[in-house]
Amino acid sequence: MKIAVVGLRGIPNIMGGIESHCQQIYPRIAKEDVEITVIGRSPYLESRRSEYEGISVIGLWAIQNKFLETFLHTVVAIIYAAIFIRPNVLHIHAVGPALFTPLARLLGLKVVVTHHGADYDRQKWNAIAKFILKSGEKMACLFANKVIVVGRSLTSTLKMKYPKQKDRITFIPNGTLAAFGQGCTERDLPKDLAITSGNYILAVARLVPEKGLHDLVDAYNKSETTHKLVIVGDADHNDDYSRKIKSKASEKVVIAGRRGGSELQSLYKFARVFVLPSYHEGHPIVALEAISAGTQVLLSDIQPNLDIALQVDCYFRVGDVNSLTNKLDELDNLNLEIDQSAFLARYDWDAIAVNTLRQYMKATGRLQAAGGTQ
C-alpha cells in the first residue's frame, strides 16, 4: 500500500502537534510494508528529499505567510501526489488543508482526513478565515472516505452534525510514549537555563495567542511561587504576539526557545509542574508527554483538555488569571495524582498506528467497515 501525507510542515523534529503526531505514527505504519511519503514545506526542512525511519520526506515550495502558506502548499502537494506518487490513500491533516478534499477526490484519490481540532476557534482568525476553516471541516466530512478525529467530544459533535456520514467518522486520539523521559537524568537539563530538578514551572507551546502564554506569565507574576517559569517554544512567524511574550523574559521568566531530544524530555521530567493554559487544542500532545514523563499538570478547562479526564484539581478556568495564580500558589495542597498505567494504556502510539492503518484499509475497500473498530 502506498500513502501520501499532506497538511503538515514536515518531519522530523519540527515543532507542532500535527508534526509530532505524524512523527510517531508513520514510522510504525511503515513497518507494516506500507510505503509512506510525507510532502512537507521546504522552508521548514533541511533538504528537499530525505528519509526518516523508513519514510520518504519531500519538501515542496511554500510561501511563508501565516494566512496563505497552508492553503497554497496543500493545493500544490495534492496535485504533486496525484501525478508523481499516485498513492492508494492521500492522508490530509487538519481542517484547513481538508478544504481541498474535493480536489483530491476529483483527481481520483481515496482520502483520509485527520481532524486535529476546531481550528476555527483560534483567536488569530477573523470571520472570513473562520468560515473557510469551517468549510474545510465540512468538505472533510462530506467528501473524505474516512475522517479520523483526535478529540472524543469533537467526534460526538461531528457525528451529530453529519448523521449521514457518521459511519465515516472515527475517534483515534493522540498518544504518548511509555518510556518518555525515562532515560534522562538531571544532567540532561539545558545548562544555559540555570535550572535544577523541581525548581521550575514548565510550559511547552508555540508562541501564538491561542496557547494562552500571556495568561500564564501574568498569573506567574502575580503568584508568590519561588520557582522559575520556563517557556519552551517559538513562533513560525515573528509577529507582535511572539515579540510580546519574548519581551517578558527576566531572571525568573525564561524563554527557552525550541528544544528537542533529551533536553526536552528532561525538561518535562524534572519540572515541578507542567502548565497548559490553551484556549484551543485538538488533543494536546504536550500534556500527554508531560504526564507520561511522570510530571504533574495544570490544564485550562477547555473540552479537549477535560477529555483527558484528570483530577478536578488539575484544571483551572481558561482565561482566568486569578484561577491559575491560585493553583500556582497552592501546588503543594492540590491533588494532582494520575494513574500512570491506566493513562498510558489509553494513549498508546502503537495501537493508534494500527487503528490508523485500519482506516486506510477501509478507505480502499481492503477491510470491510463492518469488521472491528470504527
pLDDT, tens digit (0-9, with 9 covering 90-100), for 331-370: 999 999 998 888 988 999 999 999 999 999 999 998 764 4
pLDDT of amino acid 48: 95
Taking CB atoms within 8 Å and a gap of at least 24, the contacts of 42-45 are 44/9, 44/10, 44/14, 45/10
Indicate whether 141 pLDDT > 70. Answer: yes
Q: How confident is the model at residue 371 (pLDDT cuts 50, 70, 90)?
A: very low
* Mean pLDDT of all residues in 133-140: 96
pLDDT of amino acid 64: 81
Q: CB–CB of 356/148 below 8 Å?
A: yes
Indicate whether 209 pLDDT > 70. Answer: yes
pLDDT tens-digit map of 142-174: 999 999 999 999 999 999 999 999 999 999 999
pLDDT tens-digit map of 90-117: 999 999 999 999 999 999 999 999 999 8
CATH class of 186-346: alpha beta
Q: Which three cell numbers stand for residue 95?
A: 481542517
Q: CB–CB of 218/321 below 8 Å?
A: yes
Cα distances (angstroms) measured from residue 305 to each of 121, 280, 282, 342: 15, 9, 9, 17
Q: Which three cell numbers stand for residue 51?
A: 528519509
Q: CB–CB of 185/374 below 8 Å?
A: no
Instruction: Please give the mean pLDDT across all residues of the chain.
Output: 93
Indicate whether 179 pLDDT > 80. Answer: no
Q: CB–CB of 358/148 below 8 Å?
A: no
pLDDT of amino acid 374: 46
**pLDDT higher at 83 or 65:** 83
The percentage of residues in the chain with a pLDDT greater than 70, rounded to a whole number, is 98
pLDDT of amino acid 336: 96
pLDDT tens-digit map of 69-98: 999 999 999 999 999 999 999 999 999 999
Question: What is the residue type of 89?
Answer: V
Indicate whether 53 pLDDT > 80. Answer: yes
What CATH number does domain 2-175+348-363 carry, 2.40.10.10, 1.25.50.10, 3.90.1300.10, 3.40.50.2000?
3.40.50.2000
**pLDDT higher at 120 or 208:** 208
The single residue listed with the C-alpha cell 490553551 is 278
Question: What is the residue type of 151?
Answer: G
Give pTM, 2 decimals.
Answer: 0.84
Q: Is the peptide bond before 284 cis (omega within 30 degrees of 0)?
A: no
Q: Would you mind telling me the total number of residues written for the chain in this entry? A: 374
Indicate whether 301 pLDDT > 90. Answer: yes
The single residue listed with the C-alpha cell 482520502 is 111
Residues of the chain with CATH 3.40.50.2000: 2-175+348-363, 186-346
Indicate whether 299 pLDDT > 80. Answer: yes
Q: What's the burial of 95, exposed, middle or buried (CB within 10 Å: 0-12/13-18/19+)?
A: buried
pLDDT tens-digit map of 242-287: 999 999 999 999 999 999 889 999 999 999 999 999 999 988 999 9
CA dist 70 and 9 (Å) reads 9
* Mean pLDDT of all residues in 1-12: 97
CA dist 109 and 107 (Å) reads 6
pLDDT of amino acid 368: 62
Q: Which three cell numbers stand for residue 268?
A: 518535562
Indicate whether 140 pLDDT > 80. Answer: yes
